[in-house]
Chains A and B, each alone.
Chain A
């Protein structure tokens, strides 16, 4: 099976369709989730669903769906779902004119950390603007901010799992960045002693236009900061290949300085 991007549903647009966002608190006993799905399959076509457990021993089901019949109402769905022993509480939100927005959730939580989701393209254009307005100083600013963010993230990770584990499982932790859409990172021993060569496929920083920039300075700083926080020494970080300069992927050399 090929790896890919996860689909999530904070918004869905389907003109002419009757749409529902179904949120159910369920018991986390085995079979609860499937019993809710069994009930819903006769009434709606599920577009996307997610489930997650909560600290109080319950779980949440959240699903975006299209009604199979135009007369179906949210109240009918709520009544149907509450007929299941697995359902503890339910709320069904109806879309308007084919537009359905998640009005239940107020953000994203990973572990204990609150995350913000934004369009890649939008963020990349912020970087473009910084570089365009501030010239070489903008590139330096992006490097500094990348390094500062990385130091904070690495320190948080070290607090959570310990420095030894971070050092030993760098490859696995790089997958954590990939899962967040930063790019597929592969680090290996570099040509210089104690250094690393880091290759990034689908690097987010050069994923859009980037006409004002010649490289990924935020990511260059991010890698230098992560290495510093993990190994306790300064690293010189150079981007030797970049998609903004015609390469297929980005490559960085991290060398102890």
Chain B
């Protein structure tokens, strides 16, 4: 994917990665087990990468977050690509951060799959949006 993005976008990908690391560090300081990026082995035995994940010491993965940055609307294949990883890992919550936004069919698919979608024209704004969703999830007892 990196090869298809212009240099400015590569910088944004790196910046977003740093943003997720900050969220993970904050949660880890509160005694949780968060990773950014995260590599999780699914039921199939295949290892999947996510931009961020919150895992308990044992048992079901709590939340996974991924990003899709594009110069145009993100299509349904990207949603499907995220979903099959989510299906294999089986987290309680799945969040897809999208820049600029999902196409109509992609949005329908994400809704069908129960994926929480965060959209913004500016990639760096997605980090605080994701942080808010993660904190709300943790605050609602999602980390028990």
Query: Which positions in A face B, CB cutoff 8 Å?
Result: 133-141, 143-144, 217, 220-221, 236-238
Contacts and interface: CB of A to CB of B under 8 A. Distances in A.
B83 interface: yes
B87 interface: yes
Contact of A141 (B47, B82, B84): B84
A137 B84 contact: yes
Interface stretch (B38-46, B102-110, B124-132): B38-46
Interface string B75-89: 001001111110110
B44 A144 contact: yes
B47 A136 contact: yes
B33 interface: no
B17 interface: no
Interface string B85-105: 101100000000000000000
Chain A interface main SS type:
helix
Nearest to A137: B84
Nearest to B81: A134
Given A217-B46, A220-B45, A140 B88 contact: yes
Chain B interface residue number, banded: 10 to 19
18 contacts: A133-B77, A134-B84, A135-B85, A136-B47, A137-B48, A137-B80, A137-B81, A137-B82, A137-B84, A137-B87, A139-B46, A140-B42, A140-B44, A140-B46, A140-B87, A141-B84, A143-B45, A144-B44
Nearest to A220: B45
Nearest to A133: B77
Given A136-B46, A138-B81, 6 more contacts: A133-B80, A136-B47, A137-B48, A137-B81, A137-B88, A221-B44
Nearest to B88: A140
B21 interface: no
B81 A135 contact: yes
A241 to B, nearest CB: 15
A237 to B, nearest CB: 7
B49 interface: yes
A139 B87 CA distance: 12
A238 B48 CA distance: 16
Interface string B35-60: 00000001111111100000000000
B15 to A, nearest CB: 22
B29 to A, nearest CB: 30
Contact of A136 (B43, B48, B80, B83): B48
Nearest to A138: B84
B79 to A, nearest CB: 11
Contacts of B87: 137, 140
Nearest to A136: B48
A134 B42 CA distance: 15
Contacts of B48: 136-137, 140
Contacts of B88: 137, 140, 144
A39 to B, nearest CB: 57
B39 to A, nearest CB: 9
B85 A136 contact: yes
Contacts of A139: 44, 46
A238 B46 CA distance: 10
List the 7 shortest-distance A-B pairs measured between CB atoms, nearest first.
A137-B84, A143-B44, A140-B88, A140-B44, A137-B85, A140-B46, A136-B48
Nearest to A144: B44
A221 B49 CA distance: 21
B76 to A, nearest CB: 11
A136 B49 contact: yes
